[in-house]
């Protein structure tokens, strides 16, 4: 059973020292190995290949863990702040500013996705058909 006051690096170093491999390594070497293992396990982005063999990279596990740990606290803080401003001129102004600031980016993203989808289907669609799609009312 591990002691709660000992760090992961120290526990790993102790285990390596007690194994056959540990007798070949000095204390500094074992500590360097433990630090490298921790860095790779928590701080490097995860790399994998998709179905087509392309390299994909996701965020480092420490980022995911931090987001999951902080999210409930941040949501509570935001809900508390909003609850204090319910239906006030300040809240209405803040919401209007937020919508005005984000709406162009949202619309642009949608337009880009629409055009990209059209480009992906370009081999099956004529230029005239693409023009009709772009000008169609939704």
pLDDT of residue 87: 73
- For residue 56, what are the domain limits? 46-84
Task: Check whether residue 124 and residue 76 sit in a common domain.
Answer: no
For the chain, the domain total comes to 3
SS (H, E, C) 22-38: HHHCCHHHHHHHHHHHH
pLDDT of residue 126: 57
% of the chain residues with pLDDT over 70: 77
Task: Check whether residue 75 and residue 91 sit in a common domain.
Answer: no
Crossing angle, helix 127-135 and helix 89-120, to 10 degrees?
Answer: 160
72 vs 18, higher pLDDT: 72
Task: Check whether residue 31 and residue 58 sit in a common domain.
Answer: no
pLDDT at position 127 over 70: no
pLDDT band at 137 (very low <50, low <70, confident <90, very high): low
């Amino acid at each position: 059973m591990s002691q709660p006051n000992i760090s992961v690096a120290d526990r790993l170093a102790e285990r390596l020292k007690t194994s056959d491999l540990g007798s070949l390594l000095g204390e500094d070497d074992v500590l360097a190995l433990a630090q490298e293992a921790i860095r790779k396990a928590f701080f490097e982005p995860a790399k994998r290949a998709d179905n087509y063999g392309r390299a994909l990279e996701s965020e480092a596990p420490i980022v995911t863990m931090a987001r999951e740990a902080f999210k409930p606290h941040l949501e509570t803080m935001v809900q508390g702040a909003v609850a204090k401003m319910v239906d006030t001129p300040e809240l209405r102004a803040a919401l209007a500013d937020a919508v005005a600031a984000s709406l162009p980016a949202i619309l642009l993203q949608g337009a880009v996705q629409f055009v990209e989808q059209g480009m992906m289907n370009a081999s099956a669609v004529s230029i005239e058909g693409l023009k009709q799609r772009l000008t169609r009312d939704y």
